[in-house]
Chain A
Amino acid sequence: MFYWIYDIPSVALALIITGAFVAFSWLGTIFIRPFLRVFLRKRADINDLIGYMLSCFGVFYGLLLGLLAVAAYQNFTGVETIVSKEASSLSALARDVSAYPEPDRTNLIWLLRDYTRYVVKYAWPAQQQGMIPQEGNTRMIAFHEQLIRFEPSTPGQEILHAEALRQFNNYLEARRLRLFAVTTSIPGVMWAVVLVGALMNIALIWMFDMKIVNHLFLGGILSAFMGLMIFLIASLDNPFRGELSISSAPFQDILTHLMEE
């Protein structure tokens, strides 16, 4: 729904989210606070009361934000590990097939090159748009067809072939996990709770009774921090989207190597 935010550069996104929170907080302080004061100013200890409420609420909300940030970070690093495992398997597979006799060697290297180029130039941008790339599957089938067509004729070739098939299966497993990760993200309902929580937090700030300049300053700081936390979670969520995303660099390295094979 809000995937367009990943098209915005990180610095600008941080400024926009933080700015939006601060602006919302300030607008409320200027326009809503006067109405709230009519009801709340009757009590002398209103600031203490709201302070307790805010502390209590802040603990729960902070916990929610903290846990979400950790979960998003863990998911991000998990997917990063999958991608690096996948790239390692692909690299090992390329090394194995480069020892095959001709013409199988050239055919297999060309097919791997074709696949890796597709991953770098087409699959990765598709993933960044939240789409699961489909065409890689056909290229993998073509590679598998060529691989199983090879008939080892020496004990050395038999060992090499068995190792290549094992690497190929490892690669397929890692690839499948990467494709599953493309659409992995924090559920919409959690985002809704985070945003409603932020609104309630800011609304509590509006209820304080103090000088307007102090109110704007303190409310602004708290809102800015909330905005920054939400920016952090949003950036780490959807590991393939946005500027802060997992790059195709490991595959680019393999492609560069394969091009020189």
Chain B
Amino acid sequence: MPPRRSLPMRLRSAWTLLYLAIFALSGCEPLNKARDVLTKSDQERKTIKLGILHSQTGTMGMNEMSLRHCEVLAIEQINASGELSNVDLVPVVKDGRSKSDIFRRRTRELVDVEKVDVIFGCWTSLHRKAVIDELDNPTDLFRTEPVARNSAQPHKPLLFYPLQYEGFEVNRNVFYFGSTPNQQILPALDWFMSQQGGSRKRVYLIGSDYLFPRTANFIVRKYLEKQSMQVVGEDYLPLGHSDFKDSIRRIAETSPDLILSTINGDSNFYFYKQYYESGARPDSTPIVATSVGEDELRRIPPEYVHGHLAAWSYFQSLDTPQSQEFVKSFKRAYGLDRVVDDPMEAAYTQVMVWKEAYKRAKSSDPLKIREVLEKGLEFDAPGGKIKVDPKTHHLYKKFRLGKTGLDRQFEIVYESKDLIAPDPFPSFAFPGWECDWTRNGLTKGPMPTIGL
């Protein structure tokens, strides 16, 4: 019989076993995670809320859903890349319900309750102006916290706006990622006046009856005063209008060789259908649209739009690695049948540009982000290189003209050689108006009569 070991010996063996067990378990992943949770040794992560304010319901719901998708996609990509170390970006999505007063209310919630430093949002100019006004002049009724009367610098987030628009607007806290008329409409007219575009001389202006078409056409008329092209007719129809027979008859009577369409929304389906049924064809009188992108084309039978043109800064068919990667990642996230278009690309880009600014500012503070952007930040967007204009807070962008194919995609027929500088106040339309946020800010001239 072997001699019994003494108690101290046995205890020593027990401790050795315990140490060995602890050593073995220290390599165990669940226990390591438990240690992190219990001791909170994991590095503290910072959360930054990004406001996303679009209509999810109401008449603009379907259109703005695509913009929201691109903004959320960009946020998810930034989070997944780990580019902003120890920072989690959290999208705070609010529904403007296609109503200006709801946009105001949601803006107030994003500022007062969610305390966001930036809002990516809006589609229509009406809603954008409502949001800007709410940021500049808060409505007491919508405030969810008492007004800080002693606060010298009230919290005011930046607004990033992704749509092409009519211009004639600047705001120190707003960055415009869409094209202005001098980057979208005027280059299109220049091309049609050139030999390549058929040296056209007679244009008919047709649009929906609201701010953007009225102001854009005002700029067009002023621009064409000193050009070889003349405006032979001008027509405005309510949003959602479906009977274009009278307009098409007037178009036939005035014999234009180009139609510039600023019609927005579902009316485009009826306009193209009735134009096609009238026997008119794009070979003789093409329509160049400023509000018909790939997303709108899916609602219009291809034969109606085939051969007509659209003026944008970005088309899905753009054959660059950045663009293809953007299209691929969007389809992966939201479905193979989805398409991307110019406003969606701008919506995606604006989040990426904010990220670049954040990296340089090392803060989400609106003033610091603005400071970085006002240094003229450049970025390789899916549509190519862009540059923030420090003077006007708009973007230097390329212009592209696309011809509609039967596959509901655009074939790019022209692309500007260089980036075009933004000009929200073209001097021929708004004399005396100019903006330079790096110097005197906005200088106002006489108020033009746009005819709204």
Contacts and interface: CB of A to CB of B under 8 A. Distances in A.
Interface of A: 4, 7-13, 15-16, 103, 106-107, 110-111, 113-114, 117, 121, 135, 138-139, 141-142, 145-146, 258-261
B298 A106 contact: yes
Interface stretch (B27-35, B144-152, B382-390): B27-35
Nearest to B269: A103
B336 interface: yes
User: What are the 4 tightest A-B residue pairs by CB atom distance, in nearest-first order?
Assistant: A9-B30, A12-B34, A12-B30, A8-B34
Contacts of B28: 11-12
A21 B310 CA distance: 72
B57 A12 contact: no
A191 to B, nearest CB: 19
Given A11-B28, A121-B76, A145-B58, 4 more contacts: A8-B37, A103-B299, A141-B56, A146-B62
B280 to A, nearest CB: 24
A138 B33 contact: no
A261 to B, nearest CB: 8
B279 interface: no
Contact of A113 (B38, B57, B299, B335): B335
Contacts of A107: 62
Contacts, number: 67
Contacts of B239: none
A110 B335 contact: yes
Given A113-B334, A135-B93, A142-B57, A11 B30 contact: yes
21 contacts: A9-B30, A11-B30, A12-B28, A12-B34, A13-B34, A16-B38, A103-B298, A103-B299, A106-B298, A106-B337, A107-B62, A110-B338, A113-B334, A114-B65, A114-B69, A141-B57, A142-B56, A142-B57, A142-B65, A145-B57, A146-B61
A142 B59 CA distance: 10
A15 B333 CA distance: 39
Nearest to A258: B335
Contacts of A110: 62, 65, 334-335, 338
Contact of B56 (A11, A113, A138): A138
B96 to A, nearest CB: 11
Interface string B316-354: 000000000000000001111110000000000000000
Contacts of A13: 34
A8 B336 contact: no
Contact of B336 (A11, A142, A145, A260): A260
B95 interface: yes
Contacts of A106: 298, 337
Nearest to A8: B34
B298 A9 contact: no
Contacts of B29: 9
B185 to A, nearest CB: 28
A8 B39 CA distance: 12
Interface residues of B, number: 26
B78 to A, nearest CB: 15
A10 B37 CA distance: 13
Contacts of A138: 56-57, 93, 95
A15 B57 contact: no
Nearest to B332: A259
A110 B298 CA distance: 13
Most chain A beta-carbon neighbours within 10 Å: one of B61, B69, B298:
B61
A135 B91 CA distance: 11
A261 B334 CA distance: 11
B91 to A, nearest CB: 8
B15 to A, nearest CB: 14
Contacts of A146: 61-62
A7 B299 CA distance: 47
Given A110-B65, A114-B65, A8 B33 contact: yes
Contact of B37 (A4, A121, A258): A4
Interface in B1-38: 28-31, 33-34, 37-38
Nearest to B33: A9
Contacts of A139: 56
B121 to A, nearest CB: 14
Contacts of B37: 4, 7-8
B262 to A, nearest CB: 22
Contact of B335 (A9, A15, A259): A259
A139 to B, nearest CB: 7
Contacts of A135: 93
B61 A145 contact: yes
A12 B25 CA distance: 10
A9 B38 CA distance: 12
Which of B28, B37, B58: most chain A CB closer than 10 A?
A: B37
A258 B338 CA distance: 12
Contacts of A141: 56-57
Interface in B267-325: 298-299
B65 A9 contact: no
B19 to A, nearest CB: 16
Between B30, B93, B334, the greatest number of chain A beta carbons within 10 A of the residue's beta carbon is seen for B30
Contact of B31 (A15, A113, A259): A15
A212 B37 CA distance: 35
A9 B34 contact: yes
A114 B56 CA distance: 11
B61 A16 contact: no
Nearest to A139: B56
A129 to B, nearest CB: 12
A140 to B, nearest CB: 10
B351 to A, nearest CB: 17
Nearest to B93: A135
B14 to A, nearest CB: 11
Contacts of A114: 65, 69, 334
Nearest to B34: A12
B301 to A, nearest CB: 10
Contacts of A121: 76
A23 to B, nearest CB: 12
Interface string B72-105: 0000100000000000000001010000000000
A111 B56 CA distance: 10
A45 to B, nearest CB: 30
A73 B182 CA distance: 66
A16 B34 contact: yes
A16 B299 CA distance: 59
A9 B37 CA distance: 10
Nearest to B58: A145
Contacts of A16: 34, 38
